[in-house]
């Protein structure tokens, strides 16, 4: 199956039509959920937070000191975002986030968790052999950089503040946000260099 395969979309539409026809689902409610996760909850929110930290030193300091309040000041709040801690990538330390018990994840700033984040293999292995797992995911962390693994929980969730890529001094916050993917905010990737 390829990304161009219309099968999943057709099956989803048929299932939704059947559920609506039987009165089990209100289409307005479904549309509301879709809008919420496309516009209001998702990686773009986190990328907006990161771009603001890259362009505003006072915000960055506040974000690292009180992630919950700083993130909330941008309007990103809600369930699974009540207690946020922000971890800054540096030349000395690389942070990566996992939830070893289930899949605790900061939905307001990262949206829905990717399937690999919930996978038992990732959850177990990234704690034991983080450098190997990161390499398998395409991120080679230099040997001189220490890797710290942070275990997310129902009490605290983490957002990684990636290092700002080189050659980005003249970019706007919106352009910078476009360089930040969800995986960089979990610590399994870096922010991308501008093309």
Active-site residue (options: 73, 99, 115, 153)? 99
Active-site residue 103, yes or no?
yes
Active-site residue 195, yes or no?
no
Active-site residue (options: 104, 115, 152, 153)? 104
Active-site residue 99, yes or no?
yes
Widest CA span in the chain: 60
Nearest partner of 109 among 149, 144, 139, 82, judged by Cα: 82
**Cβ burial, residue 40 (10 Å; 0-12/13-18/19+):** middle
Residue 134, number of CB atoms within 10 A of its CB = 19
Active-site residue 102, yes or no?
yes
Q: Is the four-CA dihedral 35, 39, 44, 46 of positive or negative sign? A: negative
Active-site residue (options: 103, 115, 152, 153)? 103
Residue 179, number of CB atoms within 10 A of its CB = 22
User: What does R_g of the chain's alpha carbons equal in angstroms?
Assistant: 18
Residue 161: phi and psi, rounded to 5, are: -95, 100
| Residues classed as catalytic | 99, 102-104
């Amino acid at each position: 199956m390829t990304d161009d395969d219309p099968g999943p979309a057709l099956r989803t539409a048929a299932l939704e039509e059947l559920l609506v026809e039987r009165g089990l689902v209100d289409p307005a409610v479904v549309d509301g959920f879709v809008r919420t996760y496309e516009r209001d909850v998702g990686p773009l929110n986190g990328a907006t937070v990161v771009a603001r930290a890259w362009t505003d030193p006072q915000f960055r300091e506040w974000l690292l000191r009180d992630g919950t309040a700083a993130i909330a000041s941008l309007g990103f709040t809600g369930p699974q975002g009540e207690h946020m801690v922000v971890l800054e990538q540096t030349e000395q330390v690389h942070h990566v986030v996992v939830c070893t018990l289930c899949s605790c994840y900061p939905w307001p700033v990262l949206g829905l968790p990717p399937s690999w984040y919930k996978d038992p293999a990732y959850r177990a292995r990234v704690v034991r052999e983080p450098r190997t797992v990161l390499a398998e995911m395409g991120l080679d962390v230099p040997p001189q950089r220490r890797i710290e693994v942070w275990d997310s929980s129902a009490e605290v969730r983490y957002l990684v503040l990636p290092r700002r890529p080189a050659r980005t001094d003249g970019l706007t916050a919106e352009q910078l946000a476009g360089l930040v993917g969800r995986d960089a905010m979990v610590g399994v990737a870096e922010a991308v260099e501008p093309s």
